[in-house]
Amino acid sequence: MGKKLKVGKARKDKFYHLAKETGYRSRSSFKLIQLNRKFQFLQKARALVDLCAAPGGWLQVATKFMPVSSLIIGVDLVPIRPIPNVVALQEDITSDKCRQAIRKELQTWKVDVVLNDGAPNVGANWQHDAFTQAHLTLMAMKLAAEFLTKGGTFVTKVFRSKDYQPLLWIFQQFFKKVQATKPQASRNESAEIFVVCQGFLAPDKIDSRFFDPKHAFKEVEVQAKTVKELIPVKKPKAEGYKDGDLTLHYSFTVTSFLKAENAVDFLDKASEITFDNTDLEFHPATSIEIRECCRDIKVLGRKELRLLLTWRATLRRFLAKKLKGEAKPLDPEINLSSDEEKGGFEDEPDKKKKKEGEEEEEDEEKEMEKKLAELKAEEVSELKRKKKKLLKERRKQRERVELKMDLPGVSIADSHDSSMFSLSAIKKKQALADLAKGDMRAAENLAEDDDYFHLSEDDEADKISLASDLDDDDLEEVELRQQELEMKAPKKKVKFAEEEEEDEGQDSGLLVELEGKDEKKQRETNLWFSKGIFSEIGLEGDAESELQQTELLQNKQAIKGKKRKAEAVEEEKEEEKKDALREEEKAVPLKEAKDETDDSDDDTDDEKEITKMKQVTEGAGGMSEGAKETGFQVVPVESTSKKARILDAEGMALGCLIATSKKRARDLLDGSFHRFAISEQQWEVPEWFLDDERKHRKKPVPVTKEMVEEYKQKWKEIDARPIKRVAEAKARKKRRMLKKMDQAKKKAEAVVDTVDISEREKMSQLKSIYKKAGLGKEKREVTYLVSKKGAGKKVRRPAGVKGAFKVVDGRMKKDMRGMQRKEQKSKGGKGRGQAKGGKGGMKGGKGRKGR
Ligand SMILES: C[S@@+](CC[C@H](N)C(=O)[O-])C[C@H]1O[C@@H](n2cnc3c(N)ncnc32)[C@H](O)[C@@H]1O
């Protein structure tokens, strides 16, 4: 076959798959199988020449159906991969060299069958392609005439073009019986047809003009012409002239055009419109184009005719107005020059006026109606668009639910703006900063501003699904949280803090960086040494030792913080995570103390003190316990720029309260300023004290248990869901599987439909199809046995072992384990997350080595 294979999807029909399955080189093999089934020419043949045989599908069929040790020769422009018992020649069948090559192979033999499935490289244009094809067929016929034995069969492909008939005529001159057929395997849309010519007459002498395309195709062209001539051409029905009317050209005046009852009929009849009224002729609406159009109506197109109709309407309006006395005539003398019109108007002026007025109204009404109809149509199309969009969304949601990417009624993909719970979305940082300073007016303004809450006050808020409240970032956070919970590794949290530190300086709406890194450090140092205890020691003036002390104390503080944190992690890992999330959400940034030396105002002092405490505690590296209690914590800016805050059930319930009542929101904000809000955690206090504080220094949150339960339930649903990427991967896998199944089904159907192969063969093909698609038997379970003899040795089936078993080397397993232990030990200090990775590696090792 030529190199340019059509590999479009459409080509891959059942015969394509069948050929692949049965090992035939081309789908056209089935065409020959079907032709042979009908005409039975292969079974009796002892020698065969297949012209245009590459890649060799027909040759394969020939070897299969012809008696063993038959002579089979295949010829093609391109090389044919070897086929047992087939002689393959690489020649152009239109050349003399090809003829000689075949002669050389056949010697004195004649063949019983000549096949031709030639298809030249096509693509120039249809006519050219058709001719090349016909020419190729003619050349094949020429070879057949030379090499066929008397009574032999010639099977050829022909394209149904204008040369089809001449070819058939030629075939009929050489064969007893010529039959055209289209096997099932030939596509319906293809113009190819197969002609089976049986009973070669083997004439002693053949006129060379038979195979000269000029002669061969010309002859029948003439025939075809005669045939054409035979077909009676339908003459148009003669209508004749109307009685007594011998005119072809009709000229009418413009007034008659204006007065015509049916303007369209008038234009249909008229050939010309002349101007009998100068008033109308020089009317501004009578443009040069209109005048030109009036000259020859018969040649006008749709557009021009419409133009004339509009012009007519304008003139009619103008006349009506004029009659009412509204319009001044351009030329009073020629106002109504037409006798006909004059008479008409003079006779019944009132009637005419009335009529004109009515017509005008009618026109206006019509226009109105038209506009209304247009508007309606627009509305309808808009509605349709909306409906379509809605249906599309629903369909998508359904698909997602089917693929287990969503819960029914809950959509991850929902992109409603519900950033109510995202601090990063809150833009009113100034107001919140004022609020942090204790300015209650700011709180009121904030609460009154609907934008702040993002959610409408109606009950919709309750209906909004939890998942749809989450934007992409939130979802990522949920996934992260799930992964965290799965891993249960404290390492992650530490990493979080690191990341947050790295992201410093990024703008994040509400949560902004208060100062640079160095400034912060400096301030913390100053803050630390501003304590009374240091003034007592009298370190002033000794800068160097002061610095050393600072570092020492800071390190100490940091170590303590870390130690405490590690302990907390050990005690209640999960609990702490939830707390952390809740605390993060509740966090409100406190404005930096402006001037630390200024202590004139008491209120400002208190505020500064709070800020200092929090900052120092944070500087120590651990999360402030006091902050947990009070609901306040200095939120590091960097984290919010990337991570959305996730609320726990209690937080969600609180959020719901805030969203539904402005008063409650205000109360809540007011309530957050209480005596427990001041953290004293920085002082050295015993652990039991802290425990006690944790238990009792909490202001109860005004949410009911039921509300919390409800939100917990929602969280559970979300937690139970596989993370987005996993769900997507699963869905992809499922889709692939379904596709594979589909393909296998198609192939299987094709095999079942085939009649040329035995049941047994069909069965084996079906089996292989299903096996390839992975739909066969389940993977058999193998039991691995550790034997002292070593792997690969023959061992008798031990008692209790059923099914397949494999003997593996015990030492190998031990070695592996030893190596893994060593590896783990070396990684020991690096945290649990890594240890887990090591475990994964172990598993991998096991799988690869098979124990
Ligand atoms: C449809 S394929 C034949 C398929 C073949 N019957 C089979 O079953 O595998 C048509 C072939 O005609 C060959 N062909 C076209 N023009 C030719 C020529 N002038 N001489 C020899 N072969 C030609 C092409 O190379 C191409 O391989």
Chain-wide mean pLDDT for the chain? Answer: 70
Mutate to test the pocket of ligand 1, among 77, 113, 129, 135 (most ligand atoms within 8 A of CB): 77
Classify residue 845 as exposed, middle or buried by CB count within 10 Å of its CB (0-12, 13-18, 19+): middle
Active site residue 662: no
Ligand 1 binding pocket includes 25 (Cβ within 6 Å)? yes
Pick the atom of ligand 1 nearest to 54's CA: 27
Pick the atom of ligand 1 nearest to 94's CA: 19
pLDDT number for residue 31: 92
pLDDT number for residue 99: 93
Classify residue 207 as exposed, middle or buried by CB count within 10 Å of its CB (0-12, 13-18, 19+): exposed
Which residue carries 């009298």 as its tokens? 538
% pLDDT > 70, the chain = 55
- CA-nearest residue, atom 8 of ligand 1: 57
Specify the amino acid at residue 646: I
Q: What is the pLDDT of residues 804-832, one digit of tens each?
A: 888 877 777 778 888 888 888 887 655 44
Bridge-based pairing state of the strands 272-274 and 251-253 = parallel
Name the pLDDT band for 493 (thresholds 50, 70, 90): very low
Q: At what angle do helices 662-671 and 440-448 cross, to 10 degrees?
A: 150
Q: What is the pLDDT of residues 20-38, one digit of tens each?
A: 888 899 888 999 999 999 9
Distance CA 670, CA 680 (A): 21
The pair of structure tokens assigned to 201 is 């007459």
Residue intervals of the chain classified under CATH 3.40.50.150 are 9-230
pLDDT number for residue 72: 94
pLDDT number for residue 784: 81
Q: What is the pLDDT of residues 299-313, one digit of tens each?
A: 888 788 888 888 998
538 carries a ligand binding annotation: no
Q: Name the helix (H) or strand (E) containing 200.
A: strand 192-200
Give me the sign of the Cα torsion angle 445, 449, 454, 455.
positive
- Top pLDDT among 244 and 377 is at 377
Q: 9-230: what CATH class?
A: alpha beta
pLDDT(750) > 60: yes
| Listed residue (7, 9, 5) closest to 739, CA to CA | 9
Distance CA 761, CA 738 (A): 26
pLDDT(458) > 50: no
140-144, 397-401, 590-594: lowest mean pLDDT where?
590-594
- Name the active-site residue from 31, 157, 565, 586: 157
Mutate to test the pocket of ligand 1, among 30, 42, 52, 190 (most ligand atoms within 8 A of CB): 52
The secondary structure of 366-406 as a DSSP string is: HHHHHHHHHHHHHHHHHHHHHHHHHHHHHHHHHHHHHTTSS
pLDDT(840) > 60: no
Ligand 1 binding pocket includes 89 (Cβ within 6 Å)? no
pLDDT number for residue 116: 95
Q: At what angle do helices 543-571 and 517-529 cross, to 10 degrees?
A: 100
Distance CA 408, CA 402 (A): 9
Ligand 1 binding pocket includes 186 (Cβ within 6 Å)? no
The mean per-residue pLDDT over the stretch 315-323 comes to 85
Ligand 1 binding pocket includes 2 (Cβ within 6 Å)? yes
- Top pLDDT among 785 and 841 is at 785
Please tell me the total number of residues recorded for the chain in this structure.
Answer: 851
- CA-nearest residue, atom 15 of ligand 1: 120
What is the whole-number distance in angstroms between the Cα of residue 114 and the centre of ligand 1?
Answer: 14
Mutate to test the pocket of ligand 1, among 24, 60, 76, 121 (most ligand atoms within 8 A of CB): 76
363 carries a ligand binding annotation: no
pLDDT(353) > 70: no
Dihedrals φ, ψ of 89, to 5°? -120, 140
Which residue carries 């969203």 as its tokens? 659
Distance CA 652, CA 649 (A): 5
ipTM of this predicted complex? 0.99
Name the pLDDT band for 470 (thresholds 50, 70, 90): very low
Bridge-based pairing state of the strands 47-51 and 71-76 = parallel
Q: What is the pLDDT of residues 789-808, one digit of tens each?
A: 666 667 778 888 888 888 87
The mean per-residue pLDDT over the stretch 637-644 comes to 47
Q: What is the pLDDT of residues 374-433, one digit of tens each?
A: 878 888 888 899 999 999 988 888 877 777 666 555 544 444 444 444 444 444 555 555
Name the pLDDT band for 199 (thresholds 50, 70, 90): very high
- Top pLDDT among 774 and 474 is at 774
pLDDT(156) > 90: yes
Helix, coil or strand: residue 698: coil
Ligand 1 binding pocket includes 117 (Cβ within 6 Å)? yes
Ligand 1 binding pocket includes 33 (Cβ within 6 Å)? no
72 within 8 A of 115, measured Cβ to Cβ: no
Q: What is the pLDDT of residues 599-620, one digit of tens each?
A: 444 444 444 444 444 444 444 4
- Top pLDDT among 550 and 811 is at 811
Specify the amino acid at residue 508: S
pLDDT number for residue 307: 87
Ligand 1 binding pocket includes 561 (Cβ within 6 Å)? no
117 carries a ligand binding annotation: yes
Pick the atom of ligand 1 nearest to 56's CA: 9
Ligand 1 binding pocket includes 29 (Cβ within 6 Å)? yes
% pLDDT > 90, the chain = 14
Distance CA 812, CA 736 (A): 38
